[in-house]
């Protein structure tokens, strides 16, 4: 069983924090999303003067057995080539980490390559990629737990360095495939609506991808004896997700997961357990957040959804959770780049609470 002790935020603190935000010398609500963002940050930290310390970014890499079925336009070797590029500082993730002052950790969760030990890659390789989930589970239950534990371990490491704001990124060719299946099953959305172009599939490629993933899902239900579950209209309206039992949920994660996505899932669970904020990037990391919320609904209090990308279904996946992203820049790079781009908005929200004067002290008439 995957278990984390995650308390919900203390909502009795809302009136006090909201009062401070409302009495800053501005029209009520005039700073829009910055105000709701400040409220969330203050609630997570249970503070009227929230702070952001030592931001960290965990980049997780792994390969996927389903890639062998031609579901991605990018070849498998791009995973390890990009991982080495990150070590040289040449990736988009490197540039944004430098720009916004994030400490970057590069972690090999299961890349199909042997890296030079001299490279600054943290070796947590579980296997040389997952198994092909068209024919059976992507990993064993023990491997799934190892991936979850590694994500938690990385968050512990950052926390011990003084980090209270963290984000996750991924590198793994074909990882939109497991993400699409998780979205379809946990949000009860037809699979064809969850599948997009990934790294650049054309319409014929997307149809092939759908056929492969549909066959994989059908095989899962036939082999396990689990029956497809559905959400009621009331559950959809109330943004309730995941009609499956805890045991069934873990089996879905094991059968269709990726080592890097599950490590991010474990990292998000641990971050929430530690009372840390975490930023959620694009389609893949939103799927990890979806998985973490399926495992413990309180995780959502600690998650800041930063970017809605161009991958088909991303907006739908966010809507299913009742999440609203801060940005929509058309990014589809992955690596956590959308989360990093959004970080200055968190800084602005915190500065607003801590640095703006209030009506009384500034001798300005409060007119509402």
Residue 234 CB neighbour total at 10 angstroms = 8
Would you give the end-to-end CA distance of the chain in angstroms?
52
335 included as an active-site residue: yes
In whole angstroms, give the CA distance from residue 201 to residue 306: 25
- Residues whose CB is less than 8 angstroms from the CB of residue 25 and which lie 6 or more positions away in sequence, other chains included: 356, 357, 358, 359, 362, 364
In a 13 Å sphere around the CA of 23, the CA atoms on its Cβ side amount to 13
Residue 182: name the closest of 141, 225, 138, 122 by CA: 138
Within a 10 A sphere around the Cβ of 210, how many other Cβ atoms?
16
Q: Left (φ > 0), alpha (ψ -120 to 50) or beta: where does 212 sit?
A: alpha
Tally the residues of the chain: 368
Given the residues 187, 250, 335, 355, the one annotated as active site: 335
- Please give the Cα distance from 149 to 143 (Å, whole number): 10
Say how far apart CA 267 and CA 123 lie, in whole Å: 16
CA distances, 266 to each of 120, 161, 167, 224, 293 (Å)? 22, 19, 12, 24, 11
Q: Are 90 and 104 in contact (CB under 8 A)?
A: no
Q: Catalytic residue numbers?
A: 335
């Amino acid at each position: 069983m995957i278990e984390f002790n995650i308390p919900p935020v203390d909502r009795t603190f809302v009136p006090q924090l909201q009062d401070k935000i409302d009495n800053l010398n501005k029209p009520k609500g005039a700073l829009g999303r910055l105000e709701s963002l400040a409220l969330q940050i203050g609630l997570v930290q249970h503070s009227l003067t929230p702070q952001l310390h030592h931001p960290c970014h965990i980049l997780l890499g792994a390969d996927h057995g389903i890639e062998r079925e031609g579901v991605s336009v990018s070849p498998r070797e791009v995973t390890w080539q990009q991982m080495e590029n990150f070590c040289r500082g040449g990736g988009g993730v490197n540039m944004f980490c430098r720009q916004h002052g994030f400490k970057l950790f590069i972690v090999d969760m299961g890349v199909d390559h042997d890296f030079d030990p001299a490279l600054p890659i943290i070796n947590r390789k579980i296997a040389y990629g997952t198994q092909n989930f068209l024919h059976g589970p992507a990993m064993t239950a023990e491997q799934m737990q190892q991936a979850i534990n590694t994500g938690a371990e990385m968050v512990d490491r950052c926390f011990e360095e003084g980090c209270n704001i963290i984000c996750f990124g991924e590198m793994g060719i074909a990882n939109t495939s497991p993400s699409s299946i998780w979205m379809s099953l946990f949000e009860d959305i037809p699979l064809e609506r969850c599948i997009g172009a990934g790294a650049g599939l054309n319409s014929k490629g997307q149809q092939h991808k759908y056929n492969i993933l549909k066959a994989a899902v059908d095989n899962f239900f036939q082999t396990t004896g689990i029956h497809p579950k559905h959400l009621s209209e009331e559950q959809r309206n109330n943004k309730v997700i995941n009609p499956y039992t805890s045991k069934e949920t873990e089996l879905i994660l094991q059968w269709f997961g990726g080592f890097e996505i599950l490590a991010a899932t474990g990292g998000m669970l641990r971050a929430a357990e530690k009372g840390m904020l975490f930023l959620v990037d694009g389609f893949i990391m939103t799927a990890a957040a979806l998985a973490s919320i399926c495992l413990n609904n309180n995780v959502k209090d600690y998650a800041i959804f930063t970017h809605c990308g161009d991958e088909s279904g991303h907006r739908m996946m966010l809507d299913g959770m009742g999440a609203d992203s801060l940005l929509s820049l058309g990014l589809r790079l992955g690596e956590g780049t959308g989360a990093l781009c959004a970080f200055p908005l968190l800084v602005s929200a915190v500065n607003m609470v801590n640095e703006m004067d209030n009506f009384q002290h500034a001798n300005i008439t409060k007119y509402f």
